[in-house]
Amino acid sequence: MRAAAPEVVAPQELEALCRKLQAQMPTGVALAMTRAGGDLPAIYPAESAAMTRAVPRRVAEFTAGRAAARMALSQLGVAPVAIPMGSDRAPVWPSGLCGSISHMDDLCIAVAAREGNIAALGIDVESAGALDADLMPSIATSLELRRMGGAPSLAAKRLFSAKEAAYKAQYPLSRRVFGFHTLGLAERQADTLTFRFSEEVPPFVAGSRIVVRQWETAGLCLSLSVLRR
């Protein structure tokens, strides 16, 4: 469902953008950014099995994502470690740690935290442009778009990113796959969006809330969900 997006962050701006976002992370959450195709360490043997049949672009994206994840973990004092892909294609984080990885074109971003009062994380990055009109009905209801405000196509893109982050955050706990309308936007306060489950998705009951914080900067829409115990 992702549409191609132009390069929105020049390589020389990446470090400054990363520092800016790191300063806005909640306590205990580390963030790192990389670019696919750069001078990055090779993936670990435990990770390479997932890339056996992948095309070069996907290998570059995967390599950059794992590099960003290890950079985020290093901020928590964790030595470099493999982050293999599980049978459900989700990253398998080291015991006692949680995290999330997102890609947009050649830009990769990862967040990580030590499990404790944080149970799971979800991160998503998109271009800040409009969402294709034919995708909007599958992403958001008219009520959700009104709650977001602004141009519907831009509101739909922000909702797409926020729901992706919320879905990623809940997945390690539920291991359930569901559509965008299972999480409905209940409230928006500035850069904070609150979603509610429209149905039971164990361990979440219908009506359970997931909060997402969202930033728009440097042509990007970045969404982060932190699930606390």
Binding residues for CoA: 58, 66, 102-103, 124, 164, 168
Q: Worst-scoring range by mean pLDDT, 33-37, 77-81, 135-139?
A: 33-37
Binding residues: 58, 66, 102-103, 124, 126, 164, 168
> How many angstroms separate the CA atoms of 166 and 212, rounded?
7
DSSP letter string over 140-171?
A: --HHHHHHH-S-HHHHHHHHHHHHHHHHHHHH
pLDDT of residue 219: 87
Average pLDDT, rounded, for the chain: 92
pLDDT above 70 covers what percent of the chain?
Answer: 95
Binding residues for Mg(2+): 124, 126
Taking 90 as the threshold, does the pLDDT of residue 79 lie above it? Answer: yes
Q: Cis before residue 203, ω within 30 degrees of 0? A: yes
What is the arithmetic mean of pLDDT over 183-211? 97
Q: Which of 188, 182, 194 is nearest to 149 (CA)?
A: 188
Name the residue type at position 71: M
